[in-house]
Amino acid sequence: MPVQEPTPAPPAPPVSLAALLGRRDLGLRLLAGSEDASVHWVHTSEMADPYPYLLGGELLMTAGVQLSDPARYVERLVEAGAAALGFGVTPVYDTVPAELVAACERHGLPLLEVPPHTPFTAVARAVWRLMAEARHRELRRVTEAQQSLATAAARPAPVPAVLGALASRLGGRAVLYAADGTEYAAAGRAIGAEAEAALRDLAGVVGPRPGGPASASGDGGEMRLAAYALGGGDGLALGTAAERREAGDHTIAGVAVVLLSLLTAPHRGADVSARDAALVRLLLGTPPADAAPALGPGPWTVVHAHGGDGTPFAAATLASALGTPLVDAPAEGAVRLLLPASAPAPDAQPGWTLGISSPAEARDLAAADAQAARALRRAEATRAPLVRHRPAGFGGLMDREEAAAYARTLLAPLSEPLTETLRTWLSLHGNWDRTAVALDIHRNTVRQRIARCAALLDRDLDDADVRMELWFALGQMTD
């Protein structure tokens, strides 16, 4: 599929011939051709051959002063790319020559009859006015499209949302391609296998290679195609397909290119060579505490995250939002990040569930990683967008559900009177008399119950470690 170079166009959108014919005050009448033609400007000429002075797209106005060969005249207009011919009756001709009508029909050139009471300048003024109105509509369309694209970029899944907004505005399809032609994400209606293949080929034309164009356009499968290279130097390209091409489509697509370039670009806030140096040190046996300063100042915060929009750029987008280049995505939708002290405190991010560790020095990063993992589990269990680790003593280091399950298993042999007696006895540091008073029972009953607990649990209650374990278990049973 050949790549089409853009043709020169005026700074205003063209006017349809139908809109001009709709101006009743002009009294124009279509004698040949189609009213679907587009007029880019108006030109008046009484030359026998105006070909050298036409740029293409004109509505040429003439009274036929030097019209000696209508067939040849029309052939030259078609060769010059004229959009239509307006023929004014009187003072030279009382009616439009039949030979001229026949030639225009033969070549498909629209022919307008301009009545005697309509000056050519009135037709030109009407065209400029219609162009101004079309320009205003196009500017409003572009502005509304920019707003919708910006809104889409702020949604939880920004890349698919931007593609969807772009496809909706263009009335077709928008696709994001990798450098090898792989389709990363797409939105909009189906366009057919032929158009899809042509669009993929066109996207392969643009890119960061030396001399490669930043954009290209073409046709395929009866669709108007365009492709744009994204910034960042990683070979990504945006492809669009629509049934027709409007004047503002290039501008709208340009806004989408900027947004997608920002959304898909990896965060580059830290110096890459510093990260490489730290990695080399770690691989060569340097302790993490000694290698970490090359990445930034401590203390560090570990973030575990789950979610995203399902695209390969989700982790990089999250890292950019949190202000760190240190990101790992071990599985789809799962991300781990390391935030230096210079990064802002992490906040909730649309489309993500976050678990945040306490700040830690490099030697304690393994513990901080475990904190972030537990915080993420709590966030998902409570459906909270973000949970921060809160130190809660040694008890807080254990998973509450696991601890409660262990406590139930450990204390299962005890009935309620024995459980309450053991709890009170342990709280009073094994004092028989004070336990008896607290429970309002005889001290011998306390001794009998505690002995029964020791037998059922098969534990030595004189052992301080056993007492601590049982006290912790009883605490889990009351939470």
Long-range contacts of 62-65 (CB under 8 A, 24+ apart): 62/86, 62/87, 62/88, 63/87, 63/88, 63/90, 63/91, 63/92, 63/93, 64/88, 64/92, 64/93, 64/97, 64/100, 65/92
Rounded average pLDDT per 10-residue block, the chain, 479 residues = 43 84 94 93 94 93 94 96 94 94 96 95 93 85 87 83 91 89 88 90 75 81 89 79 85 87 62 65 75 77 87 77 80 82 84 91 86 87 85 58 77 88 88 89 91 90 87 74
Tokens of 151: 């809104």
CATH 1.10.10.2840 placement within the chain: 400-478
How many Cα atoms occupy the beta-carbon half-sphere of 44 within 13 Å? Answer: 11
Please provide the distance, in angstroms rounded to a whole number, between the alpha carbons at the two ends of the chain.
71
CA 193 to chain centre: 25
CA atoms of 380 and 316, how far apart (whole Å): 22
CATH 3.40.1390.20 placement within the chain: 15-128
Tokens of 377: 């589990």
Tokens of 235: 């070979």
How many Cα atoms occupy the beta-carbon half-sphere of 329 within 13 Å? Answer: 16
Q: Enumerate the β-bridge partners of residue 334.
A: 306, 331
The whole-number pLDDT of residue 209 equals 55
- Report phi then psi at 159, rounded to 5: -65, -55
Q: What is the largest CA-CA distance in the chain?
A: 135
What per-residue string of b and e applies to 54-67 under the rule 16 or more CB within 10 Å gives b?
A: beebbbbbbbbeeb
The whole-number pLDDT of residue 5 equals 41
Identify whether the C-beta of residue 131 lies closer than 8 Å to the C-beta of residue 13: yes
* 154-264 maps to CATH 3.10.180.10: no
Confirm whether pTM is higher than 0.75. no
Pick from 172, 176, 206: nearest CA to 192: 172
The whole-number pLDDT of residue 276 equals 66
Architecture of the domain defined by 15-128? 3-Layer(aba) Sandwich (3.40)
**Residue 108 Ramachandran class (φ > 0 left, ψ -120 to 50 alpha, else beta):** left
Identify whether the C-beta of residue 356 lies closer than 8 Å to the C-beta of residue 387: yes
The whole-number pLDDT of residue 478 equals 57
Tokens of 47: 């030359």
CA atoms of 150 and 138, how far apart (whole Å): 18
How is domain 400-478 classified at the CATH fold level?
Answer: Arc Repressor Mutant, subunit A (1.10.10)
Q: Enumerate the β-bridge partners of residue 339.
A: 301
Identify whether the C-beta of residue 282 lies closer than 8 Å to the C-beta of residue 327: no
The whole-number pLDDT of residue 350 equals 85
